Amino acid sequence: MGSAIAKSMLVEGHEVSVLDENPEAIALLNRGQDRSWEDLGGSFTVGTALEIDALLAAGIGQADAFVASTDGDNTNLVIAQIAKRRFNVERVVVRVLDPGRARWYAEQGLQTVCPTQTAIELLEAAVRGQVPFEGVSG
């Protein structure tokens, strides 16, 4: 999910920095591109999200927007609050799979995005016939 957002933001002309604990994750950023992620101007830092040094190295100090989209809800919720409260990043977006936590933290002022909730709503709408079927998708 993170790599998809990173790629489209870079194409739009934003400066994009990706932090991942797995050095192999850069393969996702390179996939399907004619040039490598770094040749295209993106940055990539290896480190875990709770390491302040890694966040600083990835440039959190200059960030206008911060996306927390690791595969752990709790990691995302903690790191997003750090981005907001400690580094005063203006726009912070958090991926939270669990609808319960997503809702409550949204009420506390965090911009949470819950793919599970979105899927539930889409499925419901499709079952009710509210989504036109346009052939094979996804």
Partner 1 sequence: MYILIVGAGKVGWNLARELVEKENEVIAIESSRRRYEVVEEELEHSIQYGDGTELWVLERAGIERADLVIAVTGDDEDNILICQMAREKYGVERVVARCNNPRNLQHFELLGVKPAISATDLILRLIEHEVPKYGLVHLLDLKEERLEIIEMEVEEGSHADGVQVADLGLPDGSLVISILRDGGGFVPKGDSVVRAGDEVLLVLDIGLEDSVTGRFSGIAPAASADVG
Using CB under 8 A, list all residues that contact partner 1.
50-52, 72-75, 77-78, 81-82, 85-86, 98, 100-101, 104, 108
Closest approach, Cβ 100 to partner 1, in A, equals 4
Q: How far apart are CA 49 and CA 113, in angstroms?
A: 18
Helix, strand or coil, per DSSP, at residue 43: strand
* DSSP H helical ranges for the chain: 2-11, 26-30, 52-57, 73-85, 99-107, 115-127
Nearer to partner 1, 5 or 78 (CB): 78
- Nearest to partner 1 of 3, 76 (CB atom): 76
- For residues 83 and 56, give the distance between their C-alpha atoms in angstroms, rounded to a whole number: 11
H or E element: which one contains 65?
Answer: strand 65-68
Nearer to partner 1, 41 or 61 (CB): 61
In the complex, minimum distance from the CB of residue 121 to partner 1, in angstroms, rounded to a whole number:
20
Nearer to partner 1 by C-beta: 11 or 120? 120
Q: Shortest distance, CB of residue 46 to partner 1, whole angstroms?
A: 17
Q: Map residue 90 onto helix, strand or coil.
A: coil
Quick one: 33 or 101, whose CB is closer to partner 1?
Answer: 101
Query: What's at 49, amino acid-wise?
Result: A
Rg, Å, the chain Cα set: 17
CB of 98 to partner 1, least distance (A): 6
Shortest distance, CB of residue 74 to partner 1, whole angstroms?
Answer: 4
